[in-house]
A and B are shown apart, each in its own frame.
Chain A
């Protein structure tokens, strides 16, 4: 029986000591399911970030049909990794990287909103990283990411809610040939509707990685943060751009004037107090 824990990280530490294998379901927005194997985190499923499976399929690294055939041949997802490798669909080391990256990304995604309650249950098959990630390492890396984003941009919880749009007249598409391929893909995915999480799912990439790329591209004046308005036209209560002035729901965003310097100075956003929906950075109980 798991000891009563203050928060999810403490719970995971306790379960690590016990060598627990099973599932921790955490409620929240988003919640998620943490799949533990002998106390280590093998996989995390959350609507907040693509799973390893989602990343593999969306990116086309593994074809849909090959995937479905593999699942049919190996119904216990815990053994699926070995099967995929044995079938030559992906290398063992590469799959390890994908699964490990997904665990860290999902932990980060879940830490972006206040956690709810949790409950333990039995093992549910999942495509797991083997042997799995140490909970302590997960917590430390998540904290590091939060701190870095706060320094580079502002409250990470708010970054999840921006809907970036391309900057009009950012230059003819040909001239961004020097952009890294992944930056170009992100740019193609940015449309004023999608949040960073939506873009991550659309591209089959990690949420945190997409956020970093978006921040970089905003610094390069290729994307701009949309202000958060509803289609109603109610003005956003949390201005996202440094320029003061109420934002109304103009159908097309007004381009943000380019900052005079091109160097990637960290940009501090205004306090960004928004009622009700501000999930902020309450660390109590968080990752």
Chain B
């Protein structure tokens, strides 16, 4: 368990997720309106991801509702050479994570709630200022 205090900035939180979970390559924080907030990326185009993330989660939610399986937790797209995961951050934001083929999905699912909480707090303090 790391004893280092959570980083203060949004990008710091994203980078910290990359450090803590093996296989996380890049991530994008975006709004439900499809706008980019901040990104820790390398190859993906952050604005494009931001535009798609809200739609992805939206469809996921509707599917969960239609299938009657309770509230959506996250959307995990398992692909030929990696993963894309979209998870809600509060009511107004979304986190999209790109992982490679060896993504430690179990670790991600353990760590993402804390990350989401840190992001939510950091976003709230942004709004407060």
Question: Is A in direct contact with B (CB under 8 Å) within the complex?
Answer: yes
* Cβ–Cβ < 8 Å partners of B103 in chain A: 47
Specify which chain B residues have a CB less than 8 angstroms from the CB of A49 in the assembled complex.
102
| Bound-complex Cα distance A177 to B126 (A) | 51
Chain B residues lying within 8 Å of A277, measured Cβ to Cβ, are 2, 4
| Stretch of A10-18, A137-145, A197-205 on the interface side | A197-205
Q: Which of A22-65 contact B (CB under 8 A)?
A: 29-31, 46-50, 54, 57-58, 64
CB-CB < 8 A to A252: which residues of B? none
Name B19's closest neighbour in chain A (CB-CB).
Answer: A230
Complex contacts, B40 vs chain A, CB 8 Å: 231
- CB contact between B102 and one of A54, A191, A234 (< 8 Å): that residue: A54
Residue A193 lies at the interface, judged by CB distance under 8 Å to chain B: yes
**Contact (A230, B7) CB under 8 Å given A29-B22, A276-B2:** yes
Does B63 sit at the interface, judged by CB under 8 A?
no
The yes or no answer to A232 lying at the interface (CB within 8 A) is yes
- Cβ of B12 within 8 Å of any chain A Cβ, yes or no, is yes
CA distance A191 to B104 in the complex (A): 21
Q: Which of B63-112 contact A (CB under 8 A)?
A: 80-81, 100-104, 106-107
**Contact partner, A193, options B2, B42, B102, Cβ 8 Å:** B42
Complex CA distance for A50 and B107, rounded to whole angstroms = 17
A232-B7, A275-B3 are known contacts. Are A47 and B15 too (CB-CB below 8 A)?
A: no
Interface residues on B, range: 20 to 34
Q: What are the residues of chain A within 8 A of B9 when measuring CB–CB?
A: 231-232
A64-B80, A198-B25 known; A276 vs B12 contact (CB < 8 Å): no
Cα–Cα, bound, A29→B102 (Å)? 13
B104–A54 contact, CB under 8 A? Answer: no
Q: Is the CB of B100 within 8 A of A198?
A: yes
Given contacts A54-B102, A277-B2, contact A29 B107 (CB under 8 A): yes
Assess the A232–B42 pair: CB atoms within 8 A. no
> How many residues of A sit at the interface, in one of the four size bands?
20 to 34
- Per DSSP, chain A at the interface is loop
Q: Would you call B15 and A30 a contact (CB within 8 A)?
A: no
Closest to B23 in A: A47
A57 to B102, CA, bound (A): 13
The residue from B8, B22, B25 contacting A232, defined by CB atoms under 8 A apart: B8
* A54 lies within 8 A of B4 (CB): no
Contact partner, B14, options A30, A202, A231, Cβ 8 Å: A231
Q: When A and B form their complex, which 7 residue pairs have the shortest distance between CB atoms, in order from nearest?
A: A47-B104, A232-B12, A231-B15, A276-B3, A231-B11, A47-B22, A232-B7
Q: Which residues of B contact A (CB under 8 A)?
A: 2-4, 7-9, 11-12, 14-16, 18-19, 22-23, 25, 40, 42, 80-81, 100-104, 106-107
Subset of 17 A-B contacts with CB under 8 Å: A29-B107, A30-B104, A46-B102, A48-B22, A48-B102, A49-B102, A64-B80, A191-B42, A194-B25, A197-B22, A230-B12, A231-B9, A231-B12, A231-B14, A232-B7, A232-B8, A234-B7
